[in-house]
Amino acid sequence: MFSNPNKNIAQFRLTHGMNVADIGSGSGAYAIAASEIIGDGVLYAVDVQKEMLSILDSEAKKLRLNNIRTIWGDVEREAGTKIADSVIDACILSNVLFQIDNKDACIVEVKRILKPGGKVLVVDWSDSWSGMGPHKDLVHSEGQTYALFEKHKMKPVEEIMAGDHHYGIIFKYEG
């Protein structure tokens, strides 16, 4: 079974009114799940692929989710998300780490947009299975993820059940 965005977001414990960033949102499964919970909060969906953001815009309109703001941006660049400093309560990085080259720049950008005390949900592939998931050389292991976030002074606070082929970790940014 693949990772279930609704179940993973439920374990992230978002609340009404939060501002959330979904980095590498793709077509928006996590953005939509989070958007429905945060109500009048704002969900910023950031992706480098304009076509994915277009799909998300269409789906959000169809579902009448008016709190989603799509942003064509690059998390590997300074201020690449185009989100202001310290405005995000929670950030989602789902199936992103294996895709980006400059993981340190990604974490620096995530910290820039997070409020002190903000949290990050990381969900990524735990391995590669004969054509399912990323190539084995691209998998960013759970151990590597812990090391990356701890290097940037972000504290792990909880592991979630993210599916048979994924791991999930929640980190906190002390600020």
Q: What is the DSSP string of 136-161?
A: GGG---HHHHHHHHHHTTEEEEEEE-
11: phi then psi, degrees, rounded to nearest 5? -75, -15
Give the CATH superfamily of 5-173. Vaccinia Virus protein VP39 (3.40.50.150)
pTM for the whole thing? 0.94
Which pairing describes strands 20-23 and 88-94: parallel, antiparallel, or unpaired? parallel
Lowest mean pLDDT among 53-67, 97-111, 133-147, 156-170: 133-147
Rounded Cα gap, residues 149 and 162, in angstroms: 18
Instruction: Say if residue 37's pLDDT is above 80.
Output: yes
CB of 15 within 8 A of CB of 38?
yes
Please report the pLDDT score of residue 98 as a whole number.
Answer: 86
Please report the pLDDT score of residue 137 as a whole number.
Answer: 74
Domain borders along the chain are 5-173
Please report the pLDDT score of residue 129 as a whole number.
Answer: 66
The residue length of the chain stands at 175
